[in-house]
Amino acid sequence: MTASRAPAEPDVREFEATVESVDGREVVLSETYFYAESGGQPADRGTIDGILVADVVERDGDVVHVLDADAEALPEAGETVSAVVDDAFRTYCARAHTASHVLYGAARRTCEELGYAGFDISETKVRVDLTTAEPLDDGDLVELERLANRAVWDSLPVSWETLPEDEARALDGIAFNTKTEEGAMSGSEAVRVVTVGERGGERDGDGSDGSAAPTWDVAACGGTHVRNTSEIGPVSVLDRSNPGEGVTRVEFAVGPTAIDHEAAVHAAALDAATALDARVGELPDAVGRLRDRADRLEADLQAATADLLAARLREFPPGEADADGATWAVGTVDDADPNDLREPAQRVLAADGSPDVIAAVGTGDAPFVVVAVADEAIGEEDDDGSPDAGDVVAAVTDEFGGGGGGGPTFAQGGGLDADPEAVVAWLRDR
């Protein structure tokens, strides 16, 4: 069995080892500093005797190096080979993995009933899944980012050690999830524990007084890490989502992606401030004033639209009373939404000398019909022959297709398969 030495000695980038076995493109070495994909951290990249390593996996207790398929000659068992771990990718993963501990430590200080549900490192971002009593909001994300970057600034030490499992589980506040951190279990009832800060101190500080809490985070973890939080660099929270009940997924970036994201956010804020003739810090107030103005304009527009529609409905030519004595006004309306016609129709019906029924047919690519009936025209009995808006719409859709519904005084239908003028003619000749 050849476990990876990468978690214990993450700074090693070059080493020599003996090839113990070769099976196709899969090579097992006497010892290795390549990290095998585990617990959300991807496998290391690099070369063995100049051959690209396509993947690194742990199988039956051995670290298996899968070599590139295009390699012309593979090493043989018993050979001594030179291996190189890709420095840039290992450094990124170590920073990103440590950043996940720092973010969890920040969540300890902001979330109630906090639990750990896993994490994953991609080339551009990292995700941490948290179980919390309440879903996180935008304010929580801002605070997580602030606290995480404060922990980076405070240059907290990062250390790791292997402890008996019962001793590890007894550590105050340890994040322990054997399903997502299988790399932390050594297979001999021992656990690898990673601590950010000095273990044993209080964990109620947030660094706001200029001093970091002695212990920022402690967790069972089998990944690679930096030795000090200052090596992480900037942490930029990107987004949040809820992949499952009680779980909040926080996505963040470190390194160049974080720098680019913060620059893009800053540029967007400056552009918005310029457009609103305000400073960046004044944006909330400026946006609030703009929203109030937009609400007022929207209300004015709705009122003006209602007036125009009411005027259009008044222009419908009045028809003669039908057999039941009800008078109808039927016509077409342009550039209108069926829902916008309810109030104008009721206004027109309430005026002196108004018809008892208004039937409006919408023009355009999706003809619709709206029928409004004055309250006074509704009979007390359902079968007394008085006009019923819902019944009229049902009859129109029976004749011209589509669907709709409504009550006795207002109903609407859409999806009519007919020319609007044909619908108007049908209603007038009903």
Tens digit of each residue's pLDDT (9 = 90 or more) over 269-303:
999 999 999 999 999 999 999 999 999 999 999 99
Q: What is the pLDDT of residue 207?
A: 47
Q: Which residues contact 181 (CB under 8 A, 6 or more apart)?
A: 39, 219, 220, 221, 222
- Locate tokens 């980012």: which residue? 145
Sheet bearing 158-164, strands edge to edge? 158-164, 190-197, 215-220
Condensed to tens digits (0 to 9), the pLDDT of residues 184-228 reads: 554 557 899 999 998 765 544 444 444 445 799 999 999 999 999
Q: Which residues contact 54 (CB under 8 A, 6 or more apart)?
A: 25, 66, 67, 68, 69
The token pair that represents 74 in the structure block: 């593979």
Condensed to tens digits (0 to 9), the pLDDT of residues 379-430 reads: 644 555 678 999 999 999 999 999 999 999 999 999 999 999 999 999 988 7
Q: What is the 3-state secondary structure (H, E, C) of the chain?
A: CECECCCCCCCCCEEEEEEEEEECCEEEECCECCCCCECCECCCCEEECCEEEEEEEEECCEEEEEECCCCCCCCCCCCEEEEEECHHHHHHHHHHHHHHHHHHHHHHCCCCCCEEEEEEECCCCEEEEEECCCCCCHHHHHHHHHHHHHHHHCCCEEEEEEEEHHHHHCCCCCECCCCCCHHHECCCCEEEEEEEECCCCCCCCCCCCCCCCCEEEEEECCCCCCCEHHHCCCEEEEEEEEEECCEEEEEEEECHHHHHHHHHHHHHHHHHHHHCCCCHHHHHHHHHHHHHHHHHHHHHHHHHHHHHHHHHHHCCCECCCCCCCCCEEEEEECCCCHHHHHHHHHHHHHCCCCCCEEEEEECCCCCEEEEEECHHHCCCCCCCCCCCHHHHHHHHHHHHCCEEEECCCEEEEECCCCCHHHHHHHHHCC
The token pair that represents 366 in the structure block: 């999706």
User: What's the CA gap between 315 and 305, in Å, rounded?
Assistant: 15
40 Rama sector, left if φ>0, alpha if ψ -120 to 50, beta otherwise = left
Strands 357-362, 328-333: pairing is parallel
The token pair that represents 412 in the structure block: 């609407």
User: What's the CA gap between 255 and 101, in Å, rounded?
Assistant: 16
CA nearest 173: which of 201, 145, 208?
201
CB 360 within 8 A of CB 331: yes
Phi, psi (rounded to 5 degrees) for 290: -65, -40
Residue 150 has pLDDT above 80, yes or no: yes
Q: What is the pLDDT of residue 198?
A: 86
CB 29 within 8 A of CB 63: yes
User: What's the CA gap between 396 and 106, in Å, rounded?
Assistant: 62
Residue 165 has pLDDT above 80, yes or no: yes
Give the count of beta carbons closer than 10 Å to the beta carbon of residue 412.
22
User: What's the CA gap between 283 and 289, in Å, rounded?
Assistant: 10
The amino acid present at 302, given as its one-letter code, is: Q
Q: What is the pLDDT of residue 346?
A: 92
CA nearest 180: which of 124, 220, 216?
220
Q: What is the pLDDT of residue 70?
A: 87
Phi, psi (rounded to 5 degrees) for 358: -120, 130
CB 117 within 8 A of CB 179: no
User: What's the CA gap between 365 and 375, in Å, rounded?
Assistant: 32
User: What's the CA gap between 31 and 62, in Å, rounded?
Assistant: 10
Global pTM exceeds 0.85: no
User: What's the CA gap between 423 and 360, in Å, rounded?
Assistant: 10
User: What's the CA gap between 278 and 72, in Å, rounded?
Assistant: 64
Condensed to tens digits (0 to 9), the pLDDT of residues 45-99 reads: 999 999 999 999 999 889 999 999 888 889 999 999 999 999 999 999 999 999 9
- Locate tokens 């994909």: which residue? 37
Strand partners, 239: 251
Q: What is the pLDDT of residue 319?
A: 79
Condensed to tens digits (0 to 9), the pLDDT of residues 311-365 reads: 999 999 887 767 667 899 999 999 889 999 999 999 999 998 889 999 999 998 8
What's the average model confidence in pLDDT over 152-169? 93
User: What's the CA gap between 101 and 221, in Å, rounded?
Assistant: 10
Condensed to tens digits (0 to 9), the pLDDT of residues 40-54 reads: 999 999 999 999 999
Q: Which residues contact 137 (CB under 8 A, 6 or more apart)?
A: none
